[in-house]
Amino acid sequence: MRTRSLGALTVSEIGAGCMSISANYGPPADKTQGINAIRAAHEHGVTFFDTAEVYGPYTSEKLVGEALAPFRDEVAIASKFGFDVEGSGGPLSRPDHIKKVVEGSLQRLGTDRIDLYTNTEWIQLCRSKMWRVQSGTSSARERFCTSVSRRRAHERSAARTLCNR
């Protein structure tokens, strides 16, 4: 399998999005079936696996962590945060909350590191602010969002995503 650079990470050109294994679009897959699907992706050369605390919630990170444990050092795990999963469900990215959720994600994934941890609140903010940036009335924060959005668009066009549906 060919690889791509994702910042400092080198990952497989095809990544495995693990949201639908644990819920979100219909009932969750059987746990054993989900683990087998993730491990089969790895056997076929996939080294980039994406999850989030909100998927399930929490069940996707647990499943991904368990499935990848035997070969954790051979793969990159991406997860996301930015919502008040235990409360309103709305955006929440205060520093105290980030510290709490990263610790929770690490515990659920059963690992000492998350290779790519993305703030989904910022992504949503970036999408909503793009029109102001493009019209020339941008702040530093909005220019950052433009940079992130452009990079994400490039990454989407440069890599294919393996969907486990």
Q: Return the closest-CA partner of residue 38 out of 11, 20, 58, 57.
A: 20
117 is catalytic: no
Distance between CA 124 and CA 75 in Å, rounded? 27
- Grouping H, G, I as helix, E, B as strand and the rest as coil, residue 128 is helix
CB-count burial class (<10 Å; 0-12, 13-18, 19+) for 77: buried
| Identified catalytic residue from 25, 55, 58, 117 | 55
Active site residues: 55
